[in-house]
Amino acid sequence: EIVLTQSPGTLSLSPGERATLSCRASQVVISRYLVWYQQKPGQAPRLLIYGASSRATGIPDRFSGSGSGTDFTLTISRLEPEDFAVYFCQLYDNSPLYIFGQGTKLEIK
Amino acid sequence: QVQLQESGPGLVKPSGTLSLTCAVSGGSISSSYWWTWVRQSPGKGLEWIGEINHSGSTYYNPSLKSRITISVDKSKSQFSLTLSSVTAADTAVYYCAAVPGGCSATSCYLNFWGQGTLVTVSS
């Protein structure tokens, strides 16, 4: 089973700064199956990025995804106050069908 | 757009059976979506449980397969999860979600989510 490892576990930044979140797979994966979600306290995850780099409907262009092979990145170009949340990566695979990373908490510095 | 709402008991006794239902609105349960269950606990993060389509085809997480059943009731526009022989390790927030059908050719993701329901396993 593929394992997704996200780093850092917690990222402390200020509004206006750039955030770079990493998701590393334990083996080479198909990029179009790599997805990112945002989760705020008490809410369900919200789809941000699919296919490694395509923004979901309604997602601001300050969010971008990149990567291939085993290394993927979610970048938030200029942090807004509402961006402080937990971010998860997810992979579609054979079995189990959906694998999640453990999450990165983005907190206000 | 599709809206999902979980319902079911918030407390289940150890060795008992957890039963949850997800009501689908804003779209047809007979559409091409795969209707999915995911849970989230502090210890294990997000964990995919399984999914079903409108025809009743299912895929289950191998780690839970012996204990879970997912079913669909098109007449009520809902799908359900049962998890048997529960322990404290099954305590989690349970979400239902929807995955676009035919996604393996493009990208597979959980597009719509319910708000989640906390299920605690305790005597």
Q: Are A85 and A106 in contact (CB under 8 A)?
A: yes
**CB within 8 Å: A103 and B51:** no
Among all residues of chain A, which has the CA nearest to that of B118?
A42
Share of chain B above pLDDT 90, in %: 84
**pLDDT band, residue B104 (cuts 50/70/90):** confident
The model's pLDDT over B66-92, given as tens digits with 9 standing for 90+, comes to 999 999 999 999 999 999 999 999 999
The per-residue pLDDT for range B8-28, each reduced to its tens digit, is 999 999 999 999 999 999 999
Chain B contacts of A55, Cβ < 8 Å? none
pLDDT, tens digit, 9 for 90 and up, residues A42-75 = 999 999 999 999 999 999 999 999 999 999 999 9
State the amino acid at position B31 in one-letter form.
Answer: S
pLDDT in tens, B27-38: 999 888 999 999
pLDDT for the residue A78 = 96
What was the pLDDT predicted at A69?
Answer: 97
Strand order in the sheet with A19-25: A4-7, A19-25, A71-76, A63-68
Mean pLDDT of chain B: 94
Which residue out of B46, B51, B57, B112 would a mutagenesis test of the A interface target, given it has the greatest number of A Cβ atoms within 10 Å? B46
- In terms of CA atoms, which chain A residue is nearest residue B34? A97
Classify the phi-psi angles of B45: left when phi > 0, otherwise alpha if psi is within -120 to 50, otherwise beta: left
- Position A96 scores a pLDDT of 84
Query: What pLDDT is stored for residue A59 in this prediction?
Result: 97
Q: Do B108 and A99 touch (CB under 8 A)?
A: no
Distance CA A70, CA B113 (A): 27
